[in-house]
Every structure is written in C-alpha cells, then in structure tokens.
Amino acid sequence: MQTKIKGLSLWCAVFSSTTALTLAALPGTVAAEDTRINGFYENATYARDGVGLSKFRNTLQLEGEKRIGDVGIFSNVSVNGTLRGTYDGVYDLNDDEYGSEAGGPVQLQDIAQGTVPHGGGIAPTPFFGFDINENPNDGMVVLGEHLHDQDNGVAFGVPVRPCDVDSRGCIDDYLDKDENELRFQEFNDRLDFIRELYVDFDLNFDSGNVLSTRLGKQQVIWGRTDLFRVLDVINPVDYSRNNIYDELEDIRIPMWILKTDYRMGPTEVFEGFAFDDLNFQVVWNFDEFRPHDIGQCGQPNVILDAGCFFRGMNNLWENGGTVANFAGATPDGGLATDFGPGQIGIRRANMPSWKLSNTQLGLKLEGVYGDLGFSLNALTYRSQLPSLRGGIPAQNAFDGTTDVYPSLIAFDIHFPRVNLVGGSLDYYSQGIDTVFRFETAYTSGEEFANTLRERLYSESDVARYVIGADKNVYIPFLNENQSFLFSGQIFGQHILDHEREQRTYGEAGIPDWEHNWIGTLLIQGFYMNNRLIPKLITAHDFRAQATTLAPSVDWIVTDRFKVTAGANVKVGDGARKFDDCRSCNPWDPFTQTPGVVNHQPGESAGLGGYEPLGRFKSGPIGMAQEEDEVQLTVRYSF
C-alpha cells in the first residue's frame, strides 16, 4: 500500500519550477556562470545511552542561485532557492522507543499502596471519574521517567506514539504530528521542504546610497550569539532536530519576510565625525505565526521535556487520567487520584491566526566606526514559546459543577505579544588580537508560570545579555604550525518582576531563576592543512548546576566528503523540584491541605516535586541529563 506523504508530491515539482525560474531568460543576456546549483547529502547517526539509536537522519539539500543583473530600475537582481528533505529512520529502526510501538502500561506512585496502574487511583467521586476504555493503560510513559523517579511527587501517564497511531494528547494545530511528519519532517502543511526561496534586488540613488531588498522565505539573522539567542529572535527554531546543539543556520525555521536595507556607506553625522559604514534595516515578517518546534512527546529531542508535559496534560483534559500522589497531599506524598475529562489539564492551544496585527515588525540601525561595530534593534513579535494561562471553566471533581476555580491546574496555551529593544557591539582589539562581543535585549510582555497567582501565570519584563570574546591562541606543544581558536561567552537572564515566597511546605511563585547565567566555551584546533579539525564545545548552567560537554572531530577527507565523529555528554545535579500546585486548594473546602492553618481558596501551600515546574529550574541542559550520545555524521557535497 502506498503511503501519502504531505508535500512530497510537490517536492520535485517545486524544485523543477524553481530551477526553471532561476534559469528563465529575462531581458538581457545571461551568462552560464551566473547560475549556481549545488547541494549535499548527509547522514547523521546518533546512539543514546540506555536507548540505542536516537537519530538516523538522512538529509538531501539543494541550493540554487540565479544572478540576473539589471532589470528596469533595479540592479543586482538574483533569485535564490534552497530545498531540503529529510528522512529519519529512527522511527522505523527503533520504533519501540520512538515509533508506533513506543511506550506501554505505566505504574503510578501511591503512598498507601506503593504503586497503582493508570486507572487504579481513587476517584474524588466515582460518578465524575474517567473511562479506562477511552484512555487505556498502554502506549505511555510516566512523565519524566527517563530523568527521575516519582519521589512522592505529581506524575501521570503520557502517550508517546505518533498521532495517527494514538491521538491522545495531540493538541490540534500545535503538537499533532503523524508518523510521516516525524519521519519526513519537512513534508508538512507548511511546505518546509522549501527551506528558502527569495529574490534580491537593489535600487541605487544618485547620492550613492542603495536600497537593498530581499523578499521571500528566508532567515533573518540578528545578533552574534551561539546556542542561546538574545537578539536573534525573528525566526523560530526547530529544537526537535537536536535540542540546542545544531548550528542555528540549520535549525532556524525560515519565514516569508520582507527585509530591506538602506545602505548609506561612509556617513558623516556631524563635522569631524563620520561612520565608516551605516545601514538602516526594516524587517516585516508577514508569514502566518509559527512557534518554536519544541518537540512532540515521542520524539528523541523534546526540549525541557515540555512537549511531554503538554501532551500528558491535554490527555488529562480530553480523556481524564490518574495522577500520582495527588489527593490527601502531605509532605510525604499522597494518594494516586483519578480525574475525569474537563477537570484538569490543557484544553487547547490558541494559535494566532493570520491578520495584520499578528505580523511582526523589526527595525535595526547598524554601523561601523573604526574597529567598533554596533547595532540598535527594536522588534514587536509574538512569543515563540508557549504560555500556560489558567482561569478556564472546568468541572469540580467533587460536586460536578462547572466554573472558573482559582489556581486550578487547567490551562489554555497562548503566545503573547512581546516587544523587544536592544543592541550589540563588537570590537577588535589589535593590541591583543581579540574580538569582543556584547549583545543585550530588554523585553516586555513575556509570561511565566507563577503559582502565587490565581491564573497561575504572570507577566514580567526580562533583561538578557551576552558577553563574549574570540581569540587565536598559539599552543606549541599541541600544534607548532597553527593556533587554536578560543571562543567564550556568558549569557545572562534576569526576570525583573520575579515573585517567589516561602509557604508551609516549600517555595511558591515563579519557578524560573530570578537571575541566571550560562557560560559556553569553544576550543578548536586545525591539523593536516585544516583537514582535521578537533573541537570541544562546553556549556554550563550556573544555577541549575548542569554542564554539557560536546567533543568532536571533523575530517575533511576530500573537498566534497567530510566525516564528523563526536559525543554529547551531560553532567550535573539533574532534575530540580518546585511547587506543583496540588496544594493550591482550588475546590475549597474539598482540597484543603493537611497541616495548613486557615488554608484559603487558590492558595498554594508550596508542596512540590520534580513535575511539572521543576523543569524551569533544571533548564534545557539539566532536563537532558540522561541523553548522553555518541554521534557520527557523514556529508557528501556536490
């Protein structure tokens, strides 16, 4: 039986039409050397400790450029296209971990019985429980089980099979990939196999200034950071490819954008002071909104394990389910509890529809003065990360009434409007042969989980920055002929309206750190006439006490064939605990927490565990502590 793959039938047609477009005869004579077509085939095979094969991704990428020249009043006209298709065989070769056979029955902790199966908890009222036939104990894992045990905390079963195999917990229009969309990631409703397709053209003025425009599907790169983004937030990112560790060029999600630069060249601002170069840029992202791809539960890479939390919570809302250690909450845990549909969980994702007010607009002024480069940036955009907003109508599990209950763990997903201002500097110091980089951004409108608020979230301004330096260092005993590149940076984040309080059983409030720093370091060497390139990338999250080490070696066998062998190893404290809001008393007086004096409706007592909010204290490195891998990538370019 032939399986239809979304977009695959268009792949060849689009490539053919794009090539035809780039080769089309336009006014004037075009030389053959004005056309460029190249590409590569790549296989990336990763094996994860305790799991086995975690990636068998085969990529074919084709890139084409047609330089057309002058067309009417425009000069330097060119058409550019990039097509990319991948097949990740891990869903076929290791399907009991990531494919149609993944997951199984789960056991959930209960202080009275030790463990009970999904469907075996107590029900606040049997009439308002859930039907095990609609939500069977199969094809699931326990939330966070790969990283930590339940340890008297909240946990529940999460479906992990592709959404065409098991639709439980698949959030419409957000995290609802079927098996082919997992295997062939670019062949989807957004036609991601068209990675880039844009036209460049210039308009020259008598003053010598140039209006340079790029229109089409593209990446717009702001900022100078690696791994963690500060200003580079115009395009969303696909973290499901390889968490935070792939080059941003490969994991940014191109969007349909108009980018135009007014290039003024050397410009005198006032007498005696002139910039060596000055440029003003306008960016209009007019594409339909697109969030980050955080990974769907059941994929090998699910950043912060958030996709699993979302899928499990949507399953609880749609079908009900069993939650470990929930009822009769005490410092020592509680009883596994069965909830019915529409009582707790995630109801839906409110994806912004296309309209003018949902497009994104950015402005940038950049220039060069001597050895100093700078930019001033402003952007209004939709948050590419989801926000969970409580305060939705839900059913009381004890009396069956439907109302909006304070601090109930029932949510809709939103993507709020965010405004950003910032800038960057880079300076080359000739005296010490070092490049210094600085980048900063101030945002308003971001939303954070907050168990002190009745809707369980709050808004905060955020300040972020990166300070980095790049220097070549000569180390004779390692290489007498060539120096090593050292590149380090410190990324800082400060939540300016942070809230956290001590309650009866622990802290409640915003789980994210009020102040946090992540340091990165790249060391890269060169041997065999730059054909053997060893490197080490490290990143350390200071508050989460989590570190990743990624050594690798590039061997450029020929000008067309390259082999990369490496590893990705994490060390540190691992999962962290925080208030899980099972002691938030939404259904007063039924949910009064033992030992809390005068427990008010919607008031958290601070009882916590690893799930669900500890992930924000652990960060992306800490939440991946059990994902050590060895990696082999081969690429042939043509």
Give the DSSP per-residue string, 446-490. EEEE-TTSTTSEEEEEEEEEEEEEEEEE--TTT-SS-PEEEEEEE
pLDDT tens digits, 388-443: 999 999 999 999 999 999 999 999 999 999 999 999 999 999 889 999 999 999 99
- φ/ψ of 613, rounded to 5, equals -95, -10
pLDDT at 142: 97
Read off the amino acid at residue 88.
D
What is d(CA 604, CA 508) in angstroms, rounded to the nearest whole number?
7
Tokens of 67: 């330089």
Residue 16 has what pLDDT? 40
Helices (H), 417-458: none
Q: Which two tokens stand for residue 529?
A: 């006439």
**Token pair of 509, please?**
């409030």
pLDDT reported for residue 332: 62
As a whole number of angstroms, the distance between CA 603 and CA 592 comes to 10
Place of tokens 């949510």: 411
Confidence (pLDDT) at 313 = 98
The contacts of residue 288 (CB under 8 Å, 6+ apart) are 353, 354
Q: Is the dihedral of CA 151, 152, 155, 157 positive or negative?
A: positive
pTM: 0.91
Confidence band (pLDDT; 50, 70, 90) for 159? very high
Give the integer Cα–Cα distance in Å for 283 and 116.
55
Nearest-Å Rg of the Cα atoms of the chain is 27
Is residue 68 predicted with pLDDT exceeding 80?
A: yes
**At which residue do the structure tokens 């609609």 appear?**
134
State mean pLDDT over 590-619.
Answer: 93
Q: What is the largest CA-CA distance in the chain?
A: 86
Distant-in-sequence, close-in-space partners of 194: CB < 8 Å, separation ≥ 6:
14, 81, 83, 217
The tokens for 26 are 């336009």
- The DSSP element (H or E) to which 379 belongs, if any, is strand 372-382
* pLDDT tens figures, 486-545: 999 999 999 999 999 999 999 999 999 999 999 999 999 999 999 999 999 999 999 999
Mapping DSSP to helix (H, G, I), strand (E, B) and coil, where does residue 310 land?
helix
Tokens for 137? 């104990």
Instruction: Give the separation between CA 547 and CA 573, rounded to whole angstroms.
Output: 9
Looking at residue 2, its pLDDT comes to 40
Task: Give the pLDDT score at 330.
Answer: 61
272-282 pLDDT, tens digit per residue, is 788 999 999 99
Is the per-residue pLDDT at 196 higher than 80?
yes
Contact at 8 Å (CB) between 91 and 99?
yes
